[in-house]
Amino acid sequence: SPAAAGKLLVAPMDGSHWLSMKEVLAELSKKGHEIVVIAPASSMLIRSSGMYEFQTYPVPFEKEDMEEHLR
């Protein structure tokens, strides 16, 4: 049925997009959905959580480089 739990792959953007999406993922997790979140290794806000499986992928710059660029 449309309400049955399923599998979800999430590739969010850092920033306010992620902050809003985190709340949605929390609700989906409570309803039994299996969630995998993938993010670049340099992500500043996206972190692991008990609500979902978290995987990173390599990028050609470090998290520190991103933080310095934003400053």
pLDDT recorded at residue 25: 94
Tell which wins on pLDDT, 25 or 66. 25
This model's pTM is above 0.95 = no
Domain residue ranges in the chain: 5-67
- Starting at the earlier edge strand, list the strands of the sheet with 53-57: 7-10, 34-40, 53-57
Buried b (16+ CB within 10 A) or exposed e, 26-35: eebbeeebeb
